[in-house]
Amino acid sequence: MLLIPCPFCGDRDETEFAYGGDAGTERPADPGAATDEAWTDYLCFHDNPKGPHREFWFHRDGCRRWLTVERDTHTHELGAVRLSRP
Amino acid sequence: MRRQPFRAAEGGHLIDRSEPLRFDFDGHRQEGYRGDSLASGLLAAGVRIVARSFKYHRPRGVWGFGSEEPGAMVATGVREEVRPNLKATEIELADGLMAFGQNAWPSVAWDLGAAVGMAGNVLPAGFYYKTFMWPPRWWLALYEPVLRRMAGFGPAPSAPDGAFYAKRRMHADVLVAGGGPAGVAAALAAARAGAKVVLADENVRFGGGLLRAPGEIGESDGLAWIDAAIGELEAMANVRLLRRATVTGYYDHNLLLVAERAGGDAAPGTPETRLWFVRAREAVIAAGAHERPLLFAGNDRPGVMSASAAGGYAHAYGVLAGQRAVIAGNNDSIYAVARLLRGAGVSIAAVADARAESGARDLPCRPGRTVERALGSRRVRGALLRRTDGRAGDRSERIACDLVAVAGGWSPAVHLHTQARGSLSYDEERGLVLPDRPGGANRSAGAAAGRFDLDGCLAEGWAAGVAAAAASGHERPAGEPPRSPDRVAGDAPVFWRIGAGKQFVDLQYDVTAADVELAAREGYRSVEHVKRYTALGMGTDQGKTSGMAGLVLLSEAIGRPVARTGTTTFRPPYTPVPMAAMAAGLIGEGRDALRRTAADDWHEARGAVFTAAGLWRRPSYYPREGMDEEEAISAEVREVRAGVGIVDVGTLGKVDVQGRDAAAFLDLVYANRISTLKAGRGRYGLMLREDGRVFDDGVVMRLGENHFYLTTTTAQHHAAMQHMEFLLQTVWPELEVYATDVSEHWFAAALAGPGSRALLGEVAPGLDVSDEAFPMMAVRAATVAGLSALVFRMSYSGELSYEIAAPADHGLALWTRLLTAGREHGLTPYGTEAMGVMRIEKGHVTHAEADGRTTPDDLGLGRMVNAGRRSIGRRSLDLPALCRKGRQQLVGLAVIDPEARIPPGCQVAERDDMRPAAPLGHVTSFCYSPTLGRAIALALVENGRSRIGQTVYVASPVTGLAMAAEIVPPVFYDAEGTRLRG
Ligand SMILES: [Zn+2]
């Protein structure tokens, strides 16, 4: 079980968080202008690397901030943890 | 005969001879002492056959001393509350304990399944895969029942476990796994340095290897030194000692799982097992080592056992594992064991040292020899000794004995180290798999790191404690590590087997040396594959004693160095953890917090039948004298439709949204436009997921220019809240919007029915309730029944209706005052069942219809969707898959037979013959409609809207029931909506 250093709350157990998936893709600013293919890409296709991964975690049972976390998917080593909204 | 014929006259530091205990094994009354394990009690009583093996049903006796025990598997308790798959070595004797040997019928002494063992080679390695494959229909009819009887483990209990189990969480600077000399020294160093220390050991008493054999520390008895150190630790506020507590798992970020056998006879009122989740900054792994077997024919016979265990039973329990012993091994420990046994009263027949050069004058030594075969069938009656150098012409020596104590060297317990993703190395010279690079914040010490001398264990443990304390921010402790004159390294050359015959590697799963070699011949190269193919090490002992032998055998068979073969992955748990302990807190009452609305006390006093809605409980209906459930629900519906009813909707999610960009944000969150709402008005809002599927719905009310109050469904509230916070914090952080969950702040009740306006007008005299002044979808702040409230005119039931929200603290007052005022209006409280019937009659969707696969158009809500394409999920609706023909659409089903009732889980079929065919769709919601006088349903049906008027069948393939129904529009009642206007 991970120990995630929340910038607000300190080191907290993973059970207090909700996983929010890949933080590496950005929502198209104008979805209407996106082709079907580009939109499907955004919706469905995400990298699933073995190694460093940037992802969202939500401190659901804490400060209710969305965090952007760097995590190695192989070793679970955590890198930078910051607020998604600066 | 004496009750305990194998109990020595004196000795045994774990037992209390002043307290004899009676216990029962396989129906026979036995006697032992307080402090005995079941294994020591059975050995003292002279019981040698304790269980039968898994595959061949060969007799199994006690082999080991603790959690490494591979053979002595028992069940305790009686039929309903039986606890299977326990190790006799780990059960503490209690007065009245009932235990049974496992895998045996009718008893371990006379077991019919042993015929399988006589059949010999019918069950070779991989027999599951080879024998029981074809034909498949034989599996159910023949193989499974036979295998269940023959090859199962213990029986499962049939009654719920009456004991209770608990989980605890703890933070520590240093967790020390193992309370032998190394672990105690580590704990002492770290605790003296000021670190918060947890020391956990699986035995009843700290001491590790010193429990089995005497040693000397600091010029005194080793156990006395341990006791003094434990006394010092116990008195320190920064230390927690856990006895009977096995560190079973090492997880990410230094989370360690400790299973404490807390309860039982010794401590009534405590949980049976307590699972500790310890987040430790640093860990010291001092888990010790396991003695290895020697491979020879008949090495599984009761009476063949680990030499250190044989010595341990004498030292710790004053129990003689035999009367006449042959001791065989490949290292110096055999001489100490021989002297220990001799001192306890065992006659030593021979001490066979596989190494040519060793010997001792005071013992009947056989240097350069080892056991070739254990004699006897159901128990050991003798041993054949033979030269280890294989010199030709040598004759075997036959020695009568009832105990063969074997010492094959030690395997460090590297389990926790590897669970933490540490790497291993193989020391070829010493024949040891050793911890190499640690994978977490931990260090191994003592026997777990390959140090087998007492002095080395103490020094390494102390150093590990100092280092762990330093790494968690503490100064170096005062004092020096304890010392011991015992500096014998205890290394053993790798020596495994001699002779031929059935040589067992894994005593629990009956894996022989020949099985491993067969696997190699059949092409298996990976140790992981061999493990799965032969089942080697897959028993409840997880191959603690057998793993190394299997590894060496495989390496030899495939001609590869051991270092390159590698070990199997060590996974948690290190020892079995009861499922009940893992389930503690996750099952039964108290699993979840119970949420009650402000009016809950009233519902309960009224005798409501409750239903769960997430964590909430809600009145499902209010039972009535002389009516069954359906009649009571139908009565509630009729009274609402004809008069006025009240329902508690306090469980709805409520969100307060404010800020400069609130309206713009809600336009993005909902698929329909919100920004065009005027203050004082509300609108039904539809939330989509980004993939275009309906996510949630509710009502959005505009209280002011930049102030909204919205509701979510009870079920999806948390998801919806999280969704909005995600969008605000990651997608549109530039928007100035504050979304606050106010679900707990507000209570709400709905008045519904043609009589609701008159009642509201009476309780809210300051509010103009006329249709012109208070139109549909308007919201008003008003004083209702003397309480400040928000009143919203909307309808879920299809009748004229008002939802009244008041601060939660006033909720019960609001509810009871409305009920009192409503008495003269015939006000009927109704529950979720009546509410559900009325919403089905009106064709409103819930999560049964918005099931995560349906789009707004599928549900007939397509016209609500905003033409602009920026809002969440809107763009996806234009993807070809979501607007293609042939999608399932929401329709109503009116069952033709008025007496018929729809069972749960029905499909919609074109025919009623139940022949397998792709269904047209499925029923999503169903009820008996008292308004229509027949069963009705909502359903998702392929091209449903174009099938209106068709007759289909509501079919329940599992019950064989089918009933004709007409496809109708999903609104069964007042399609024009005239009743909403009142
Ligand atoms: Zn936080």
Q: CB distance A36–B421 less than 8 Å?
A: no
Q: CB distance B875–A39 less than 8 Å?
A: yes
Mutate to test the interface with B, among A1, A6, A11 (most CBs of B within 10 A): A1
The one-character DSSP state at B203 is: S
Mutate to test the interface with B, among A43, A56, A64, A72 (most CBs of B within 10 A): A43
Segment B462-477 shows an average pLDDT of 97
- Give the alpha-carbon dihedral of B679, B681, B683, B689, to 10 degrees: 30
Segment B457-465 shows an average pLDDT of 97
What percent of chain B shows pLDDT beyond 90? 75
Q: B267 pLDDT exceeds 80?
A: no
pLDDT of residue B527: 87
Largest Cα–Cα distance in chain A? 42
* Interchain contact A58–B (C-beta under 8 A): yes
Task: List own/partner pairs for B606-609 with CB under 8 A and 24 or more apart.
Answer: B606/B829, B608/B831, B609/B831
Closest of B738, B691, B688, B690 to residue B716, by C-alpha: B688
* Interchain contact B690–A (C-beta under 8 A): yes
- What band does B140 get if pLDDT is binned at 50, 70 and 90? low
Phi and psi, residue B600, nearest 5°: -60, -40
Lowest mean pLDDT among A37-51, B273-287, B485-499, B767-781: B485-499
Which chain A residues are Cβ-neighbours of B730 within 8 angstroms? 20, 23, 56, 66, 68, 84-85
Q: CB distance A58–B421 less than 8 Å?
A: no
How far away, in angstroms, is B743 Cα from ligand 1 center?
A: 21
Rounded Cα gap, residues B460 and B477, in angstroms: 15
**How far A57 CA sits from the closest chain B CA (Å)?**
10
**How far B245 CA sits from the closest chain A CA (Å)?**
21
- What band does B148 get if pLDDT is binned at 50, 70 and 90? low
Lowest mean pLDDT among B119-133, B427-441, B777-791: B119-133
**Over the stretch B62-83, which tens digit does the pLDDT of each residue have?**
999 999 999 899 999 877 888 8
From A1, A36, A75, residue closest to B251, measured CB to CB: A1
Which one-letter amino acid corresponds to residue B104? A
Instruction: Give the Cβ contact number of residue A84 at 10 Å.
Output: 19
pLDDT of residue B532: 87
Residue pairs between chains A and B whose CB atoms are closer than 8 Å: 64
Q: Which of residues 15-34 of A touch B (CB under 8 A)?
A: 18, 20, 23, 27, 30-32, 34
CA-nearest residue of chain A to B879?
A: A36
Q: CB distance A84–B252 less than 8 Å?
A: no
**Over the stretch B83-131, which tens digit does the pLDDT of each residue have?**
888 999 999 999 999 999 886 655 666 655 555 555 444 455 665 555 5
- What band does B707 get if pLDDT is binned at 50, 70 and 90? very high
Whole-Å CA distances, B907 to B849, B895, B923, B955, B958: 14, 13, 6, 5, 10
**Over the stretch B152-170, which tens digit does the pLDDT of each residue have?**
567 788 888 888 899 999 9
Q: CB distance A66–B875 less than 8 Å?
A: no
Q: CB distance B730–A66 less than 8 Å?
A: yes
Segment B822-848 shows an average pLDDT of 97
Instruction: Please state the pTM of the whole predicted model.
Output: 0.88
**How far B695 CA sits from the closest chain A CA (Å)?**
16
Helix axes of B222-234 and B181-192: crossing angle, nearest 10 degrees: 30
Lowest mean pLDDT among B7-21, B251-265, B533-547: B533-547
Closest of B530, B520, B465, B512 to residue B177, by C-alpha: B465
Lowest mean pLDDT among B195-204, B424-433, B491-500, B802-811: B491-500
Q: CB distance B421–A75 less than 8 Å?
A: yes
Q: B142 pLDDT exceeds 70?
A: no
pLDDT of residue B120: 47
**Over the stretch B568-621, which tens digit does the pLDDT of each residue have?**
888 899 999 988 999 998 988 778 889 999 999 999 999 999 999 989 999 999
Q: CB distance B728–A13 less than 8 Å?
A: no
Whole-Å CA distances, B447 to B288, B455, B466, B489, B653: 5, 11, 18, 11, 58
**Over the stretch B369-411, which tens digit does the pLDDT of each residue have?**
999 999 998 899 999 999 888 776 678 899 999 999 999 999 9
Q: CB distance A40–B879 less than 8 Å?
A: yes
Residues 6 or more apart from B655 whose CB is under 8 A from it? B709, B710, B711, B712, B720, B721, B724, B739, B740, B741, B742, B743
* CB B499 within 8 Å of CB B513: no
Rounded Cα gap, residues B179 and B24, in angstroms: 32
CA-nearest residue of chain A to B718?
A: A60
**How far A49 CA sits from the closest chain B CA (Å)?**
19
**Helix H segments across B648-804?**
662-669, 717-726, 756-763
Reported in sequence order, the residue ranges of B401-461 that DSSP labels E, i.e. its strands, are 403-407, 410-412, 424-427, 432-435, 442-444
Structure tokens at B631: 């009649």
CA quadruple B874, B878, B882, B886: dihedral positive or negative?
positive
How large is the C-alpha radius of gyration of chain A?
14
Q: B263 pLDDT exceeds 80?
A: no
Q: CB distance B875–A40 less than 8 Å?
A: no
Instruction: Give the Cβ contact number of residue B362 at 10 Å.
Output: 11
Structure tokens at B792: 């919203």
pLDDT of residue B420: 95
Phi and psi, residue B195, nearest 5°: -75, 150
* Interchain contact B868–A (C-beta under 8 A): yes
Lowest mean pLDDT among B144-148, B432-436, B465-469, B653-657: B144-148
Query: What secondary structure, in 3-state letters, does B163-188 show?
Result: CCCEEEEEEEEEEEECCCHHHHHHHH
Which one-letter amino acid corresponds to residue B411? S
Q: B868 pLDDT exceeds 80?
A: yes
* Interchain contact B874–A (C-beta under 8 A): yes
Q: CB distance B730–A32 less than 8 Å?
A: no
Q: B668 pLDDT exceeds 70?
A: yes
CA-nearest residue of chain A to B252?
A: A1
Q: B1 pLDDT exceeds 70?
A: no
pLDDT of residue B922: 97
From A39, A56, A64, residue closest to B730, measured CB to CB: A56
CA-nearest residue of chain A to B253?
A: A2
Q: B223 pLDDT exceeds 80?
A: yes
* Interchain contact B393–A (C-beta under 8 A): no
Structure tokens at B842: 């009106």
**How far A71 CA sits from the closest chain B CA (Å)?**
12
Q: Is B731 exposed, middle or buried (0-12, 13-18, 19+ CB in 10 A)?
A: middle
State the distance between the two ends of chain B, measured CA to CA, in whole angstroms. Answer: 95
With H, G, I as helix, E, B as strand and everything else as coil, classify residue B316. Answer: helix
From A1, A30, A64, residue closest to B725, measured CB to CB: A64
Which chain B residues are Cβ-neighbours of A3 within 8 angstroms? 252-255, 279
Q: Is B728 exposed, middle or buried (0-12, 13-18, 19+ CB in 10 A)?
A: buried
Q: Is B769 exposed, middle or buried (0-12, 13-18, 19+ CB in 10 A)?
A: buried
Q: B150 pLDDT exceeds 60?
A: no
Q: B917 pLDDT exceeds 90?
A: no
Segment B187-195 shows an average pLDDT of 98
pLDDT of residue B119: 47
Mutate to test the interface with B, among A12, A66, A69, A73 (most CBs of B within 10 A): A66
How many residues are recorded in chain B? 982
Residues 6 or more apart from A26 whose CB is under 8 A from it? none
* CB B103 within 8 Å of CB B51: yes
Which one-letter amino acid corresponds to residue B808? A
Q: Which of residues 614-643 of B touch A (CB under 8 A)?
A: none
pLDDT of residue B531: 87
Q: CB distance B875–A76 less than 8 Å?
A: no
State the distance between the two ends of chain A, measured CA to CA, in whole angstroms. Answer: 27
Residues 6 or more apart from B866 whose CB is under 8 A from it? B667, B671, B672, B673, B874
Whole-Å CA distances, B25 to B8, B407, B436, B637: 21, 29, 44, 64
Structure tokens at A11: 């080191």
Q: B502 pLDDT exceeds 90?
A: no
Lowest mean pLDDT among B652-656, B696-700, B865-869, B870-874: B865-869
Does the bond joining B775 to the residue before it have cis omega, within 30 degrees of 0?
no
* CB B364 within 8 Å of CB B335: no
With H, G, I as helix, E, B as strand and everything else as coil, classify residue B12. Answer: coil
Q: B700 pLDDT exceeds 50?
A: yes
Rounded Cα gap, residues B128 and B135, in angstroms: 14
**Over the stretch B275-316, which tens digit does the pLDDT of each residue have?**
999 999 999 999 999 999 999 999 999 999 999 999 999 999
Structure tokens at B660: 């400069």
